[in-house]
Chain A
Amino acid sequence: MNVAPLARRPLGCLKTTLRQARQHKIFSRSMATEVQATTSTPKSPPSQGPDQNFYRLVDKKTKSVRSAFALYPQPLAAAGKPLSPPSTTNPVAALHEFQIKKLDPTGARTALFARTREAAKVGDILLVTHRRGGEPFAGVCLSIRRAGIDTAVLLRNHIGKVGVEMWFKVYNRNVAGIEIVKRRLKRARRARLTYMRKPKHDMGSVAEFVSAWRKSRRVFQTKGAKGKAGAAAGAGGKKKK
């Protein structure tokens, strides 16, 4: 029963828009008959079909109308301006979209953890560069928690014989860049590789993979094209090897 100001609304949610457009049509049709009735023949009996502006309480046995109550469709209630439901029933997703657009304008971060073949997967070795000092943290990815703007990855590494695990929020400004150092040879058959904490499956330090990757990058890099690996990542471009 709602006339939504569709033109003013972003067409992000096509389904909702279509649904509303459908309602819109029904409504405008009913409205038109009403207006005609008043303008052409002011006191004539109404057109065929039940009056939409009443809710009838019908006796189940006799099928007769026991009583009826006037209904006020929302546009009338709002006195000229329609009351419309919010443009989406999933505002959290809209909020995520809005923030991701702002924090990841190139879409590189989104692509890196999307559900595609090229994206990073659990079992891959990732390198995260911080914006605020500190060494870049590399580690094997144990888990990816996809939650819109709150998307996070869990990396595990050994630093000086001590296992260290870190969660990183992918879209956080402190995370300057994320790069795939080495892909897992075979697809992991678990969503979360928590078994890699056990001594039997523990990978140990990933330092050698990182240094090998650094070397290979230096070989492939042309002179003066780009600075150091960290700087390249910091510039917003995430290298995928």
Chain B
Amino acid sequence: MAPRLAPATRLTFRLPLRPSSPAPLLLQTTTQFHTSAPQHVKSGWSTLPPRAKPTRFNQVTSGLPAPTTGPAAALKRKAQSTPVRAGVLAVKKGMTAFMGLTGTRIPCTVLQLDRVQTVLNKTRKGHGYWAVQVGFGERDPKNVGAPMLGYYEAKGIHPKEQLAEFRVRDEKGLLPVGVQLMPDWFYIGQRVDVRSNSRGMGFAGGMKRHGFSGQEASHGNSKNHRTIGSAGPSQGGGSRVLPGKKMPGRMGNQRVTVQNLPILMIDNDLGIVVVKGAVAGPKGCVVKIQDACKKPPPPEEFIEKTMQALKERFPNAEEHLQAARERHLELKQARREKRIEEILAKGWEPTKEQAEMMERAAAEDGHESLGEQATL
């Protein structure tokens, strides 16, 4: 999950961390083989100022229109169909119905959110596009690999069960890291797109997979009742099977998007979002819910309200992230220098802020346990 940098820059970036390693030597050897030197490293005999990598065609200076291809053009083109806000991850819990007051029955799907947190913001500069990575649920750390443990450590978040990212239109869609997204991220009546993997059917024949007609039951047909017919023309037609020919194969377990589903109900306590109609996949499958890309985005006031709620619920998310980052760097260094045992022996000393927080939590704890006893 590290930002992708050019190999040379990554090398220089790492240098100060391991002064004792034979890195300078490595640098020398690599520079020898570099035909074009990294821009910010003064190398060789040229004293000219560094130049941007020249593009041969369609430069701004040439008076031609802006390019219609390339990453910038692609982002601009897709901006219209990219939602303004990030979405959430949920689990499909099953289908039921709403009985309306006028006697109408509305079939609906129940989707449940479980500790959905933002994990990472992806930016145009760092990653090439705008997106928010969102985590779902909680995973036992023993089922998480070391690289990912380090990743979560740096975010100050408990390992998540699922991670997914949601593209957003621009930097306005980015969210503070570590905040929880609740069902009230959406409003009743809002249209959303729901994505999930359909139920896998395994290896299926042409009749089931593509709705082919099959072949005759009689008239001399021999053991070819459900097989596909010809795969294409013979000599004259190319004597080949055209690309994309529908054939038997794995069916289902594909990403299916159901667009523009209206939201019928949200409940923060149950953690549910109820959408009208069906959603692909079996019960228990993970679904992505995001604002519908073919409808206008939610009203400005609503977006502001949700952002305000996030701030109120998680006032010091940024400080927490910063503290986690700093601590991660410390621990990383310790791991590299094999000092981790010392830290473990010493135990974790919470920072002043964290200690306060814990005290507050403990105090709240006491209150609540008292309240619980009273109610019980």
Contacts and interface: CB of A to CB of B under 8 A. Distances in A.
B110 A81 contact: no
B117 interface: yes
Question: Chain B: interface residue count, which band?
Answer: 35 or more
Interface in B157-176: 157-159
Contact of B96 (A45, A68, A96): A96
B349 A43 contact: yes
B138 interface: yes
A3 B360 CA distance: 12
B158 A38 contact: no
Contact of A81 (B157, B313, B343): B313
A83 B313 CA distance: 10
A53 B149 CA distance: 12
A149 interface: yes
B141 A55 contact: yes
A160 B135 CA distance: 61
A79 B101 contact: no
A86 B346 contact: no
A197 interface: no
Contacts of A5: 368
Interface residues of A, number: 71
A77 B153 CA distance: 11
Given A28-B362, A86-B272, A103 B99 contact: yes
Interface in B323-354: 324, 327-328, 331, 335, 340-341, 343-350, 354
B314 A21 contact: no
Interface in B255-301: 265, 267, 269-272, 274
A72 B364 contact: no
B87 interface: no
Contacts of B313: 78, 81
Nearest to A69: B149
A54 B149 contact: no
A105 to B, nearest CB: 14
A7 B99 contact: no
Contacts of A28: 362, 365-366, 369
A131 interface: yes
Nearest to A47: B347
A85 B360 CA distance: 20
A68 B272 contact: no
Interface in B56-109: 93-94, 96-103, 105
A87 interface: yes
A80 B315 contact: yes
Closest 9 A-B residue pairs measured CB to CB?
Answer: A86-B271, A46-B347, A7-B371, A174-B103, A69-B149, A55-B141, A173-B103, A91-B272, A91-B270
13 contacts: A1-B158, A28-B369, A55-B149, A67-B146, A70-B324, A72-B156, A74-B115, A76-B357, A76-B358, A77-B156, A79-B320, A79-B357, A91-B112
Given A3-B361, A86-B113, 17 more contacts: A6-B368, A6-B372, A7-B375, A31-B358, A38-B355, A42-B349, A46-B348, A70-B324, A78-B313, A79-B357, A81-B313, A82-B361, A83-B180, A86-B112, A92-B110, A148-B96, A174-B103
Interface of A: 1, 3, 5-7, 9-11, 21, 24, 27-28, 31-32, 34-35, 37-38, 42-43, 45-46, 51, 53-57, 65, 67-92, 94-96, 99, 103, 131-132, 147-150, 169, 171-174
